[in-house]
Homo-oligomer: A and B are copies of this chain.
Amino acid sequence: MKIGELAALAGCETETIRFYEKQGLLAAPARTASGYRTYQQRHLEDLQFIRHCRAFDMSLSFVRQLLIFREDPTQPCGRVNTLIDEQLSHLDTQLTQLHQLKADLQALRTLCQNDHQAKDCEILKNLVHPCASDCERHR
């Protein structure tokens, strides 16, 4: 299949596929006489693998490490579990931070309900000298 077809099947852009090839994530496929890339089923599976990993917000270097296991199926997969656990704790960190961010921003939002002059806006004031001294996040 050609690159556009592969892209449609994987739900990504053709440029993304070329990008992955350039980055060494996706094997370079055979070419037609005129230079068009022609892909096999295996390419589709590799690409889907990459896209699913990305959907979990894994970095490409992370994905690269996981792809090694697809290249050598006899490898023990213990490292896979470790990588997934790392990604999970990464997501956890993000989630916690985002939660705090939202709470803080909501608190900030309550400070100004009406429309008055900017110089009297408690939100703007707070964005200079934030709330409490326990505002650790603001460092």
Contacts and interface: CB of A to CB of B under 8 A. Distances in A.
Nearest to A130: B52
A27 interface: no
B80 A123 contact: yes
11 contacts: A11-B138, A51-B138, A73-B117, A74-B118, A74-B119, A77-B117, A77-B123, A80-B121, A81-B109, A84-B105, A91-B102
Interface string A1-23: 00000000001000000000000
Interface of A: 11, 45, 48-49, 51-53, 55-57, 66, 69-70, 72-78, 80-81, 84-85, 87-88, 91-92, 94-95, 98-99, 101-102, 104-106, 108-109, 112-113, 115-121, 123-124, 126-130, 137-139
Contact of A52 (B45, B75, B115, B127): B127
A86 B120 CA distance: 21
B84 A95 contact: no
A93 B100 CA distance: 15
A109 B88 contact: yes
A120 to B, nearest CB: 8
A90 B2 CA distance: 37
A73 B128 contact: no
Contacts of A78: 115
Nearest to A108: B84
